Amino acid sequence: MNQKPDLGALFGAGETSTFLGLDACTDLSTLDAPIAILGVPCATPYASVGPYCRNAPAALRQATAPLTANLERHDFDSGGQVFPEKRLRAVDCGDLAFDESDGAANRDAIRGAVRTILDRGAVPVLLGGDDSIPIPMLQAIGDTAGERRFTILQIDAHIDWRQTHMNEPMGLSSTMRRASEMAHVERIVQVGARGIGSAATTDYEDALAWGVSFVPARELHRAGVQAALDLIPEGSDIIVCIDADAIDPSLVPGVIARSPGGLTYDEITDLVRGAAARGRIAAIDFVEFMPERDVDGIGALFFARVITTALGVIARQKA
Ligand SMILES: [Mn+2]
């Protein structure tokens, strides 16, 4: 009587090695798809905690297993099939190897992989890993930017503007500070901040002085997502950086710092949809999901659905 029924059998699948059962791409140099999912378990972990989100890519893939047989059904969140045509489907490029004691080498590997994805004309979709992963992703976008300038839409409970933490300037508390120093980043919109986070008041003031537009979570709930989207100029090239802790912890408990007052499913997916309506999503990352802190897979399911909806949005802008 203790045996759980296999609901996967009802839906059509129980296991998957790729996100949504999409085709695998094992060699980035031969990538031939409009969207490339890349698992990145580790970039620059703080020594005190290590790569605590290393198991997130596998957990997020597994959370999509019940959907793998149903990808051609109607998705109400996408207004049609997630991928409206077969040629618009993403591929799953697996996980990057890493050395948890060599952040510089990890960053080089991430930067190189993202550059290859961009050179192949695909939109990178990174599954972290902790929130240090976007730094080398942003650098890779800079490598290939030419004259293009980008708007970052960061959705996070924390602003990540520390100069350094534990003597590490490239860690997860400094991501938007490092972004602000990059020549190709012309605008940063930060949505979802709340509570007591990593930043000192002086960090927040530095961000304001740089020109960041903040829409804290409470303001977003009150004013609606359009208030944040209005801060993105029409026609922008947009990089979306999503930290799982932006979402309310009752929905995604699998994060290190659960912070009440977070975003709902509709708020976060409407931000992604709205960004694509304002301009063009050039890259997106999903970080800070920690399966070991999750409750019965509910957060993995939620975050995997956000990612699925984002894939549908990006596929439509490629149509
Ligand atoms: Mn963060």
Torsion (CA) 290, 137, 78, 56 in degrees, nearest 10: -20
- CA 152-153-157 angle, 5° bins: 125
pLDDT at 45: 96
- Find the mean pLDDT for residues 169-179: 98
- Per-residue pLDDT band for 176 (boundaries 50, 70, 90) equals very high
pTM, full prediction: 0.96
Say whether pLDDT at 12 is over 80: no
User: How would residue 6 be classed by pLDDT, with cut points 50, 70 and 90?
Assistant: low
Q: Quick check: 130 pLDDT over 90?
A: yes
Rounded average pLDDT over 202-227 = 98
pLDDT band for position 69 (cuts 50, 70, 90): confident
pLDDT tier for residue 3 given thresholds of 50, 70 and 90: low
- Which residue carries 């995997």 as its tokens? 304
Residue 319 pLDDT greater than 90, yes or no:
no
Tens of pLDDT, residues 274-307: 999 999 999 999 999 999 999 999 999 999 999 9
Measured in degrees and rounded to the nearest 5, phi and psi for residue 268 equal -75, -40
pLDDT of residue 75 exceeding 80, the answer is yes
Average the pLDDT over 120-147 and give the result. 98
Q: Which amino acid is at 138?
A: L
In the chain, % helix, strand, coil (3-state, to 5) comes to 40, 15, 45
- The predicted pLDDT at position 222 comes to 98
Q: How far is the CA of 173 from the centre of ligand 1 (A)?
A: 7
| Structural domains of the chain, with CATH | 7-317 (3.40.800.10)
Only one residue has tokens 């080498």, namely 105
Question: What is the average per-residue pLDDT within 189-212?
Answer: 97
The string of pLDDT tens digits covering residues 217-239 is 999 999 999 999 999 999 999 99
- CA of 18 relative to ligand 1 center, distance in Å: 25
Share of the chain above pLDDT 70, in %: 96
Name the residue with tokens 């972004």: 179
Residue 8 pLDDT more than 60? no
How far, in Å, is the centroid of ligand 1 from the Cα of 12? 35
What pLDDT does 318 receive?
79
| Residues whose Cβ atom is located within 5 A of ion ligand 1 | 131, 156, 158, 160, 243
CA of 153 to the centre of ligand 1 (A): 12
Ligand 1: distance of its center to the CA of 115 in Å?
Answer: 23
From 132, 126, 100, select the one nearest 113 (Cα to Cα): 126
Q: Is 314 helix (H, G, I), strand (E, B) or coil?
A: helix
Q: Is 89 left (phi over 0), alpha (psi -120 to 50) or beta?
A: beta
Taking the centre of ligand 1 as the mean of its atom positions, its distance from the CA of residue 189, in whole angstroms, is 14
pLDDT band (50, 70, 90) for residue 214: very high
pLDDT of residue 32: 97
Output the CA 121–ligand 1 centroid distance in Å: 27
CB atoms under 10 Å from CB of 279, counted, come to: 18
